[in-house]
Amino acid sequence: MSHSFELPIERITIPVLQRWKHDGRRVVMTTAYDAVTARIADPVVDVILVGDSVGNVCLGFDNTLPVSMAMMNHHLDAVARTRPRALLVADMLFLSFHLRPEETIRNAGGFLQRGADAVKLEGGAKRAEMVRALVDSEIPVMGHLGLTPQSVNVMGGFKVQGRKADDALRLLDDAHRLQEAGCFALVLEGIPSELAARATESLTIPTIGIGAGPGCSGQVLVLHDVLGLTEGHRPKFVRTYADGFQLLQDALSRWVADVRNGRFPAPQESYGIPEDIANAIEKLDAQQPNLM
């Protein structure tokens, strides 16, 4: 059975997402790293993630591990200033939630003070203590299982997870442990479709898939991937809806050509001088020709 839904006028909140899980309304999440991308995304998506993917998407790193709290705060501030209608989620960084609950709460609470509605953190049962500490401190938490980019070195690269029986069972157990710890939603990344569908059916909280097939409660992709703004190899799970990189480079090239050929700026891009000022300058020039 197909469903047709209109975008809500109301601001998206966690109870709204939970209601949509019950109603079968799919959640759509994308990333934003600055005010421009936030304004592009906000009218049409439900959740905006200020992801640590800013490291490899915008900052030139090979992965997310070098991203610092200062970097994340900078990008979160820019997105939060747009006051998005979408639920605003900020990624907890590598080592920002691994050491002590007190430090985890401080880092996550700082994101909420900057305007985030919730935080997202990677990992399963071994992160349940941190999830509980955050939830007990009134900080909403979105979990993240499967291909967790902060574990790239342990996984030996960005590889599909949960293809072995033990791994699949562990992921299902992790999903339920995170739900019990208080997560309001889970991102399922890079796992077989059947496993993601099984997890989604067995949980009461929404799941948001990326490379996890169509059986999740919703989907997330990096905005730059959707718009085709990145060069090079794209993961199998990415579908691009525009050749944004080439489109923008072509537009820039046309401007460069206009500058070099003297076609820019034209009169419509230039400012004129008021007639009385022009007359005064002409009169001054005539009286004192060596002044000008």
b vs e for 46-75, b when ≥16 Cβ sit within 10 Å of the residue's Cβ? bbbbbbbbbbbbbeebebbbebeeebbbeb
- The one catalytic residue in 102, 138, 189, 201 is 189
CA atoms of 192 and 240, how far apart (whole Å)? 21
CA atoms of 186 and 143, how far apart (whole Å)? 5
User: What token pair was written down for 224?
Assistant: 């730059």
Active site residue 189: yes
CA-nearest of 145, 102, 138 to 120 is: 145
CA-nearest of 224, 220, 192 to 206 is: 220
- The strand pairing partners of 189, in sequence order, are 146, 210
CA-nearest of 91, 29, 18 to 218 is: 29
User: What token pair was written down for 218?
Assistant: 């919703």
Give the ranges where 4-92 is alpha helix by DSSP (H): 14-23, 35-41, 54-57, 69-80
Catalytic sites, residue numbers: 189
